[in-house]
A and B are shown apart, each in its own frame.
Chain A
Amino acid sequence: MSLLELRSVTADYEGLLALRGISLHANEGEITALLGANGAGKSTTLNVICGLLPTRSGQVRFAGEDISHLRPDRVVRRGLTQVPEGRLLFDDLTVRDNLLLGAYSRMRRESRRRIEEDIDGVCELFPILAEFADRRAGTLSGGEQQMLAVGRALMSAPRLLLLDEPSAGLAPKAVSEVFARIQALCRRGTSVVLVEQNVSAALKIADRGYVLEVGQIVLEGTAEELLANRDVQRAYLGKDYEEV
Chain B
Amino acid sequence: MSLTDQIVQYLVTGVSIGAVYGLVGLGLAIIFNATGVINFAQGEFVMLGGMCAVAFTGLGMPLIVAALLSIAVVTAVGLLVERLAIRALPRASIITLIIATIGASFVLKGGAKLLWGPEAVILPSFSGHAPLHIGAAGIDPQRVWVMGVALVSVIGVQLFFKYTLTGKAMQACAINRSAAQLVGININRMVSLSFGLSAALAAIGGIVLTPVTMMRYSQGATFTLTGFLAAVVGGLGNGIGAVVGGIMLGVLEALAGGFVDVATRGLIHSGYSKAIALAVALLILWLRPQGLLGRRERESA
Contact = CB atoms under 8 A, between A and B. Distances in A.
Interface string A48-83: 001110000000000000000001110011000110
Contacts of B187: 73
Given A90-B171, A92-B171, A93-B171, A105 B176 contact: no
B184 to A, nearest CB: 3
A150 to B, nearest CB: 12
B158 to A, nearest CB: 14
Given A90-B176, A145-B301, A81 B182 contact: yes
B181 A88 contact: no
B168 A93 contact: yes
B301 A156 contact: no
Interface in A85-111: 86-93, 97, 100-107
A153 interface: yes
Contact of B179 (A77, A90, A92): A90
Nearest to A145: B301
A73 B181 contact: yes
A25 interface: no
Interface in B146-178: 165, 168-169, 171-172, 175-176, 178
A71 B168 contact: no
Contact of B182 (A82, A86, A91, A106): A82
Interface in B279-301: 300-301
A3 to B, nearest CB: 18
A153 B182 contact: yes
Contacts of A138: 301
B222 interface: no
Interface residues of A, number: 35
Contact of B184 (A86, A104, A142, A145): A104
Contacts of A73: 181, 184-187
A21 interface: no
Interface residues of B, number: 19
A97 B170 CA distance: 12
A93 B183 contact: no
A159 interface: no
Given A71-B186, A73-B186, A101 B172 contact: yes
Contacts of B179: 84, 88-90
Interface centre among B176, B182, B187, B301 (most CB of A within 10 A): B182
Contact of A104 (B169, B175, B176, B300): B169
Interface in A35-55: 50-52
A232 to B, nearest CB: 30
Given A101-B169, A104-B165, A90 B175 contact: yes
Contacts of B180: 90, 101
Interface string B176-202: 101111111111000000000000000
27 contacts: A52-B178, A52-B181, A71-B186, A73-B186, A76-B181, A77-B184, A84-B178, A86-B300, A89-B179, A90-B172, A90-B180, A92-B171, A93-B168, A93-B172, A93-B175, A97-B168, A100-B168, A101-B168, A101-B172, A102-B183, A104-B165, A104-B183, A104-B185, A105-B184, A107-B165, A152-B183, A153-B183
Interface of B: 165, 168-169, 171-172, 175-176, 178-187, 300-301
